[in-house]
Amino acid sequence: MWSIYLNVVLQGVLTGLVYGLMALGLSVIFGVVRVVNFAHGEFAVIAMYAAFILFKAFGLDPLIAAAPIALAFFAVGFVLQMALINSFVSRPEHEQFILLVGLAIVITNALLMIFGPDAQPTNLPYAFDSYLVGPLIIDKVRVYAATAAVVVSAALFAFFRHTRTGAAIRACADNLVGAAVVGLNVKRLYALTFGLGLACVGAAGASMVTIADATPSLGPAYTLLAFTIVIIGGLGSMSGALVGGVLIGVSEALAGFIIAPSMKSMFSFALLIAVLVLRPQGLMGKKRT
Amino acid sequence: MRALWGAMTPRGKVLLAVLVVALLAAPLAVNRYLLSVLTLTLYFVYVGQAWNLMMGYAGQLSLGHALYVGLGGYVAAALWVHFGIGPWLGVFPAVAVAAAFGAAIGWLGFRFGIEGVYFALLTIAFAEFTRIGFDHIAFTGGAGGLFLPYEEKRLGEWWNLRGGQDFFYYLAFALASGGVVIAALLSRARLGFQWLAIREDEIAARALGIDVFRAKMKAVLISSGMTAIGGVFYAFYNNSLFPAQVFDIGRSIELILAPIVGGLGTIFGPVIGALILTPLGEILIAATERLGIDAPGVKAVFYGLLLMIIISLVPNGVWPWIVRRFALVKHKP
């Protein structure tokens, strides 16, 4: 009996890591640019469709396609921040929010116009393969997707810790005025950050296609999911995003298994409300002043 | 009220009178379809006013107002369907339930210092939580929806909100005018000025001796209660309620478009916003149908682009610009 639960939990952890990568993008953007990307999940869905098309047209494995997609998303994020969002950075929160919600609405409905409302299954050749480890049955796709998520996250951690540009971006996040005074090009660094954030979403979306079918209505759902994760983990905390992702992944898997699949996200929201009330800065977040 | 009327230029007064008379006479002149568009417009004027009180005046961004529409609608509709209690009575528990939820969200948010984006997310979380919850409440029909029976013999029973298009149009007109009057009164009241102070600088407001928590709670209570009345209207006008529809985050966003486009924190912003947006949306649908394009997302893509353009170019909304351009008010709006 316990092995079933162990299976469910493990499955939740693996899915949660992909969620975590998606949320990581949101957290990085907020942590540095201080703009909440309300179109985050919508970008993930674009990546899902991109991976889906690449797979159908060229038979490219979504996990390999994740690399070019992430690169393209980096470019999109860079341009978006330079052209549009930089002018909103010092504007009131609700104006930033409205801009990005507008963008989110455009993306979701443009996808709806192009692809229609039906879910598009990718049907990977190894979709139903699994590893047998003792009593555990682990889906191959989830292992691959989770590994990809961990690799990308690790690369991002390393970038922020060990490169000069990474340090410069952290400087912007810690002390904006100070960063500008020592001559950092803040606008360009913001654009780089937004690009990196979107690259995370791109990679996460492409990996997600192996687990879930692409459909436009996933956009708002993933935006909410990413928010829930970063708030639980701590908005702006990179490790918090991964921890939050795993936590949500496990709680969704358990709630879906024990109670009802349709009620699984109710527990995520309950968890979110609890965290907001008891520890508003999130589990791993620094205390806000 | 008198102060507001006095602040308007003669041109402003004439235009307002023309608008009111035109709206009152509309059912005589236009066909059923146009009247339904106008009804929808007035509904959005009303709920927009309710939301604007909280965001535009008190500066508390709620992205979950569909919660109050849904709760109001569901409570009144369930009382009517299961117990035969009419909506004029049912509106009281409907408002009470929505206000109780509003109070819970407000209390959690304001007591624990959850502000800005975090507060907005709290409101979304509550709305989503309730949406999924209602999917599983058998008493209100679950995900399959709650239907208000359409009975021919009840059609004239205005006291049960069973009427034709004309009836609902005037009801929406009454709601919208009521919303405008409440906003106008509150904006000149002590509470309204307290809200503005909090919106501009909460710490300074506190230093002036304003009980910030109390004032914000009043904003949530009034806003959620008013929105719930809109929900009762929505339920009896549409005769059906689905959790996935009424509590959807898309509904919450739809509801805040009019005040944002029109102008946050202004009395006529939600009016102008709704008068622009709702007919525009209908025209767009009609135009794409005429062109033979069968794309369900067209209207929403257009709304999204419009939002982005308006917030980039006129972040304060259209109304302040109109006021300045056409000199409708003597001093500043």
- Interface with A, mutate which of B123, B308, B310, B314 (most A CBs under 10 A): B308
pLDDT band for position A249 (cuts 50, 70, 90)? very high
Is A98 close to B307, i.e. CB distance below 8 A? yes
Quick: pLDDT tens for B249-302. Answer: 888 888 988 998 898 889 899 999 999 888 888 888 888 788 776 667 777 888
Region A232-254: mean pLDDT is 88
Instruction: Using alpha carbons, select from A116, A105, A109, A100 the residue that is nearest to residue A214.
Output: A116
**Distance of alpha carbon B288 from alpha carbon B294, whole angstroms:** 7
Instruction: Using alpha carbons, select from A35, A173, A194, A59 the residue that is nearest to residue A125.
Output: A59
Residue B89 lies in a domain: yes
B150 — contact with chain A (CB < 8 Å)? no
Residue A289 lies in a domain: no
> Are the C-beta atoms of B265 and B319 separated by less than 8 Å?
no
Degrees to nearest 5, angle at CA A183 with A178 and A189: 85
A97 — contact with chain B (CB < 8 Å)? yes
Angle between helices A164-174 and A140-162 (to 10 degrees): 80
Is B61 close to A93, i.e. CB distance below 8 A? yes
Q: Which of A184-188, A268-272, B146-150 tops mean pLDDT?
A: A184-188
**Which of A93, A263, A277 shows the shortest C-beta gap to B132?**
A263
Burial of A239 (0-12, 13-18, 19+ CB in 10 A): middle
**Distance of alpha carbon B9 from alpha carbon B325, whole angstroms:** 13
Is A231 close to B121, i.e. CB distance below 8 A? yes
- Determine the residue type at A33: V
Domain CATH code at residue A63: 1.10.3470
What is the pLDDT, as a whole number, of residue B144?
Answer: 83
Is A94 close to B61, i.e. CB distance below 8 A? yes
Residue tagged 């919303």 (tokens): B179
B282 — contact with chain A (CB < 8 Å)? no
Region A258-285: mean pLDDT is 81
Residue tagged 């972040």 (tokens): B315
pLDDT band for position A55 (cuts 50, 70, 90)? very high
Concatenating the DSSP letter of every residue in B68-111 gives HHHHHHHHHHHHHHHH---HHHHHHHHHHHHHHHHHHHHHHHHH
Question: How long a stretch of residues is chain A?
Answer: 289
Structure tokens at B157: 């029973």
Residue B332 lies in a domain: no
**Distance of alpha carbon A14 from alpha carbon A141, whole angstroms:** 10
Region A129-154: mean pLDDT is 86
How many domains is chain B built from? 1
Residue A81 lies in a domain: yes
**Distance of alpha carbon A33 from alpha carbon A191, whole angstroms:** 9
Least confident span in A262-271, B82-91, B99-108, B185-194 = A262-271
A90 — contact with chain B (CB < 8 Å)? no
What is the pLDDT, as a whole number, of residue B79?
Answer: 92
**Distance of alpha carbon B193 from alpha carbon A240, whole angstroms:** 40
Instruction: Looking at the complex, report in whole angstroms how far the Cα of residue A164 sits from the nearest Cα belonging to chain B.
Output: 31
Residues near A228 by Cβ (< 8 Å), separated by ≥ 6? A244, A248, A268, A269, A271, A272, B125
A125 — contact with chain B (CB < 8 Å)? no
Is B308 close to A99, i.e. CB distance below 8 A? yes
Q: Which domain holds residue B238?
A: 2-326
Instruction: Looking at the complex, report in whole angstroms how far the Cα of residue A285 sits from the nearest Cα belonging to chain B.
Output: 13
Least confident span in A241-250, A278-287, B181-190 = A278-287
Q: Which domain holds residue A250?
A: 6-278
> Are the C-beta atoms of A230 and A27 separated by less than 8 Å?
yes
Parallel/antiparallel/unpaired status of strands A136-139 and B146-147: unpaired
Is B308 close to A103, i.e. CB distance below 8 A? yes
Return mean pLDDT, chain A: 88
**Distance of alpha carbon B93 from alpha carbon B79, whole angstroms:** 9
Q: Would the pTM count as exceeding 0.90?
A: no
What is the pLDDT, as a whole number, of residue B120?
Answer: 86
Q: Given a cut of 90, is residue A41 above it in pLDDT?
A: yes
3-state secondary structure (DSSP) of residue B117: helix
Distance of CA B270 to the CA centre of its chain: 8
> Which of the pair, A207 or B284, is modelled with greater confidence?
A207
Rounded to two decimals, the ipTM of the complex is 0.84
Concatenating the DSSP letter of every residue in B241-299 gives E-HHHHS-HHHHHHHHHHHHHH-TT-SSHHHHHHHHHHHHHHHHHHHHHHTT---TTHH
Residue B333 lies in a domain: no
What is the pLDDT, as a whole number, of residue B295?
Answer: 67
> Are the C-beta atoms of B131 and B251 separated by less than 8 Å?
no
Residues near B175 by Cβ (< 8 Å), separated by ≥ 6? B42, B43, B46, B229, B230, B233
What is the pLDDT, as a whole number, of residue B272?
Answer: 92
Q: Which of residues 258-277 of A touch B (CB under 8 A)?
A: 260, 262-263, 265-266, 269-270, 272-273, 276-277
Degrees to nearest 5, angle at CA A127 with A121 and A132: 155
Structure tokens at A112: 């709806």
pLDDT band for position A289 (cuts 50, 70, 90)? very low
Residue B220 lies in a domain: yes
Concatenating the DSSP letter of every residue in B210-252 gives --HHHHHHHHHHHHHHHHHHHHHHHHHHH-EE-HHHHS-HHHH
Concatenating the DSSP letter of every residue in A32-97 gives HH----TTHHHHHHHHHHHHHHHHHHH---HHHHHHHHHHHHHHHHHHHHHHTGGGGTTS-HHHHH
Q: Given a cut of 90, is residue B87 above it in pLDDT?
A: no
> Are the C-beta atoms of A135 and A201 separated by less than 8 Å?
no
Residue A1 lies in a domain: no
Structure tokens at A218: 């996933």
Region B303-318: mean pLDDT is 86
What is the pLDDT, as a whole number, of residue B198?
Answer: 92
Residue B201 lies in a domain: yes
**Distance of alpha carbon B31 from alpha carbon B169, whole angstroms:** 12
Residue A247 lies in a domain: yes
Residue B15 lies in a domain: yes
Quick: pLDDT tens for B131-187. Answer: 988 988 888 888 888 888 877 666 667 667 777 888 899 999 999 999 999 999 998
Structure tokens at B96: 């009470």
What is the pLDDT, as a whole number, of residue B331?
Answer: 59
Quick: pLDDT tens for B130-140. Answer: 998 898 888 88
What is the pLDDT, as a whole number, of residue B28?
Answer: 86
- Determine the residue type at B242: F
3-state secondary structure (DSSP) of residue A130: strand
Quick: pLDDT tens for B190-232. Answer: 999 999 999 998 899 999 999 999 999 999 999 999 999 999 9
Region A63-69: mean pLDDT is 92
Distance of CA A38 to the CA centre of its chain: 12
A232 — contact with chain B (CB < 8 Å)? no
What is the pLDDT, as a whole number, of residue B333?
Answer: 44
Least confident span in A39-43, A275-279, B33-37 = A275-279
- Determine the residue type at A89: V
pLDDT band for position A123 (cuts 50, 70, 90)? confident
How many domains is chain A built from? 1
Exposure string over B274-297, b if 16+ CB within 10 A, otherwise e: bbbbbeebbebeeebeeeeeeeeb
Residues near A135 by Cβ (< 8 Å), separated by ≥ 6? A3, A6, A7
Residue A284 lies in a domain: no
Q: What are the counts of helices (DSSP H) followed by strands (DSSP E) for chain A?
A: 11, 2
Region A123-135: mean pLDDT is 79
Instruction: Using alpha carbons, select from B271, B264, B273, B327 the residue that is nearest to residue B8.
Output: B327
Q: Count Cβ atoms below 10 Å from residue B149 Cβ, excluding itself.
A: 9
- CA distances to A98, B120, B197, B271 from B316, rounded to whole Å, are 12, 20, 18, 15
**Which of A87, A262, A277 shows the shortest C-beta gap to B135?**
A262
What is the pLDDT, as a whole number, of residue B294?
Answer: 65
B171 — contact with chain A (CB < 8 Å)? no
Least confident span in A236-245, A256-265, B81-90, B123-132 = A256-265
Residue B331 lies in a domain: no
Residue A288 lies in a domain: no
End-to-end CA gap in chain B: 14
pLDDT band for position B318 (cuts 50, 70, 90)? confident
What is the pLDDT, as a whole number, of residue B296?
Answer: 72
Quick: pLDDT tens for B4-63. Answer: 777 778 888 888 888 999 888 888 888 888 899 999 999 999 999 999 999 999 999 898
